[in-house]
Amino acid sequence: MRTIPIKIQFIDKSVQFDLVKAQNSTDHWFRHLEVQNIITEFIDRQFLYTDPDWTNATSVLDLGCGHGFYLNQLAQKFNEKKYLGVDIDQKAIEYAQNNAEKNVKFCCQDLYHLNLNEKFDVCFAKLLVQHLKKPQAFLEKMSEQLNENGVVYLIDGHDDFKRFFPQLPSITSIYQRLGEKYKQIGANRKLIYDIPLLASNCGFDIECENIVAGSSGRNFSHETLYEMLLINCIIIQQTFGVDVDLAQVQTELHSWYQHPQKFGGIGLHFLKLRKTRKLH
């Protein structure tokens, strides 16, 4: 496949990374997680950082923590709490353990069969729900790991708020085909919509639900969105086998970036659940 080698100037205006030439898919994945955290932090600032349940919490559990980037970021900002990250990917957990902040621990377990020796004030699942094949079993395990009156923060994507000007038809098509791939493997990119009903059957009350739009130039930079979209297309091709014409993707992104009135929007779905009942 023909590609156009490009370099993207990052947020700090000093670090550059050649996405297309990178030979190791791990490089793409790591940078994807870093950029994802930058782009989605606006919803944390809006709904999490000032929430009394968050500020008063002393113990935090992150399910589906991956390589630990998000949990370490939280630990740096709120270093008075203790954190535990759990993921089924052994290599990701090894990386996380080797790069953990002093108040963060990680362990490798199946999220549907959690067996932890402690309970937590707060449980996170960020951009995980869309990957779940057994959401009710997952919610039941979260309930078991929470203290009484503990809370769950779920953050997932909201594809209907993806908007671009000028339009990016190739990228829009890639995300649509990704949605079909999800269905084929038994996952659902819109599963977050079903969580409130499922959660009520698992001992939770819905305390807060918000669908929020974020836009480049306001919540994050145009450069960061450019980078995220390109990395996503590469990962979608590598991981899910979706046919991606990277040359066309890059051409569209370049034209978008050069437009003086460019706009890029994403959507995030935020749910806060409170454990109010024990499971029987």
Residue 200 resides in a domain: yes
Question: Residue 228: its pLDDT value, please?
Answer: 94
Residue 280 resides in a domain: no
Q: Pick from 139, 138, 126: which is nearest to 204 by CA?
A: 139
Separation in Å, CA 245 to CA 25, 67, 205, 236: 17, 28, 45, 11
Residue 218 resides in a domain: yes
Tokens of 254: 């370049």
Q: Is 125 in contact with 199 (CB distance < 8 Å)?
A: no
Give DSSP secondary structure letters for 163-192: EEES--HHHHHHHHHHHHHHHHTT--TTGG
Q: Into how many domains does the chain fold?
A: 1
Residue 3 resides in a domain: no
Q: Label residue 276 left, alpha or beta by phi (over 0 means left) and psi (-120 to 50 means alpha).
A: alpha
Residue 136: which CATH number? Answer: 3.40.50.150
174 CB-side CA count, 13 A: 24
- Residue 51: domain span: 8-275
Tokens of 231: 């990395």
Separation in Å, CA 270 to CA 30, 32, 40, 81, 155: 24, 21, 11, 22, 5
Largest CA distance in the chain: 59
Residue linked to tokens 């977050």: 192
Residue 174 resides in a domain: yes
pLDDT of the chain, 280 residues: tens digit per residue: 333 333 443 333 333 344 444 445 677 888 888 899 999 999 999 999 999 999 999 999 999 999 999 999 999 999 999 999 999 999 999 999 999 999 999 999 999 999 899 999 999 999 999 999 999 999 999 999 999 999 999 999 999 999 999 999 999 999 999 999 998 988 899 999 999 999 999 999 999 999 999 999 999 999 999 999 999 999 999 888 999 999 999 999 999 999 999 999 999 999 999 999 877 6
Q: Label residue 205 left, alpha or beta by phi (over 0 means left) and psi (-120 to 50 means alpha).
A: beta
How far, in Å, CA of 237 to CA of 26, rounded? 14
Exposed e or buried b for every residue in 7-25, given b needs 16+ CB within 10 A? ebebeeeeeebebeeeeee
Helix (H) or strand (E) holding 215: strand 204-215
Q: Pick from 82, 71, 64, 66: which is nearest to 44 by CA?
A: 71
Q: Is the dihedral of CA 6, 9, 10, 16 positive or negative?
A: positive
- List 123's β-bridge partners, or say none: 61, 152
Q: Is 156 in contact with 129 (CB distance < 8 Å)?
A: yes
Question: Residue 30: its pLDDT value, please?
Answer: 83
Residue 2 resides in a domain: no
Question: Residue 186: its pLDDT value, please?
Answer: 87
Residue 1 resides in a domain: no
